Amino acid sequence: MRRILLTVILIAALLTGCTSPSSAGKSREITISAAASLADALTDVAKSYTEKTGVQVHLNFASSGSLEKQIEEGAPVDLFFSASEEYTHHLIQNGWVDKTHTQPLLANELVLIVPKDSTGIHTLENLKNAKSIAIGTPDIVPAGQYAKQALTSLNLWKPLEPKLVNGKDVRQVLSYVETGNADAGLVYKSDALISSKVKVVQTLPAASHEKIVYPCAVIKHSANKKNAEKMFKFLQSKTAAKTFKKYGFEPIKKE
């Protein structure tokens, strides 16, 4: 009788261990590190995914350059969604990402914005009259890199450089213009669309900068790789594409 009782207790302990909340929870959640410009759209997409699958999606937004450094320093990330192919290529070269689970998903445009009630700036040429112009820090913010490329291509970088105010990410650039701390700013079209406090006065020529592409990649050493791969596929779905398009992004069709 005692042996039977011990056996029952052992089986119960094993079952309890197999179904502990901590282990179950870990396998039902993923973390995505994503470019700040994706904040609103990706939050909606993640919510839809959680409702559909029950998998909790944790989102970490910052500049793509900062996020790449976090991943290479060992941050527990399952997917990386960058605003530039450059940072994803770095992770591939350094062994953090597998090429078979990397895909360009979205495209965007670079636009010149001013406060809603501004009347003095209508084009890039008018920026010579501005006191301050906000852009992302070119070394770590893709939007800032594209802005520098465009202004350089249009022979405006050197004349305007003394007026430039750098933001830690594109959302900070947007905030500078919204609050009047900058007379104008260069952000993505998708960022301008979410704000009622700014207006777009010009879309920069596509030929003036590299094509704006958002690649997504599964981190090779993800602790939740199966769920990460499922989310990776969902981000390429028609449902996700519809949401991204609503926020001003242009989904890239898979070849």
**Closest residue by Cα to residue 135 from 188, 65, 82, 180:** 188
Q: Which CATH number is 233's domain given?
A: 3.40.190.10
Q: Is residue 9 part of a domain?
A: no
The Cα 18–Cα 10 span in angstroms is: 12
Q: Binning pLDDT at 50, 70 and 90, where does residue 255 land?
A: low
The rounded radius of gyration (Å) of the Cα atoms in the chain is: 22
Last residue of one domain, picked from the residues 193, 208, 223? 208
Examine the domain organization and report whether 198 and 220 are in the same domain: no
Q: What is the pLDDT of residue 36?
A: 98
Structural domains of the chain, count: 2
Identify whether residues 196 and 144 lie together within a single domain: yes
Residues 78 and 115 grouped into a single domain = no
Classify residue 18: in a domain, yes or no.
no
Residues 192 and 224 in one domain: no
The count of other CB atoms within 10 Å of the CB of residue 2 is: 6
Residue 121 and residue 201 share a domain: yes
Neighbour count for residue 159 (Cβ, 10 Å): 11
- On whether the CB atoms of residues 214 and 104 are closer than 8 A, the answer is yes
Per-residue pLDDT at 44 exceeds 70: yes
| Position 131 in a domain | yes
Same domain? 134 vs 165: yes
pLDDT per position as a tens digit, 137-147: 999 999 999 99
Residue 137 sits in which domain range?
A: 110-208
In a domain, 83, yes or no: yes
Q: Report the alpha-carbon distance of residue 199 to residue 213 in Å, rounded.
A: 23
The pLDDT of residue 15 is: 38
Query: Is residue 189 domain-resident?
Result: yes
Tens-place pLDDT, residues 52-78: 999 999 999 999 999 999 999 999 999
Q: What is the pLDDT of residue 253?
A: 84
**Tens digit of pLDDT for each residue in 164-182?**
999 999 999 999 999 999 9
**Largest CA-CA distance found in the chain, in angstroms, rounded:** 92
Separation of alpha carbons 140 and 175, rounded Å: 18
Q: Assess if residue 132 is contained within a domain.
A: yes
Q: Can you give the pLDDT at residue 91?
A: 97
Inside any domain, residue 4:
no
Query: Is residue 21 assigned to a domain?
Result: no
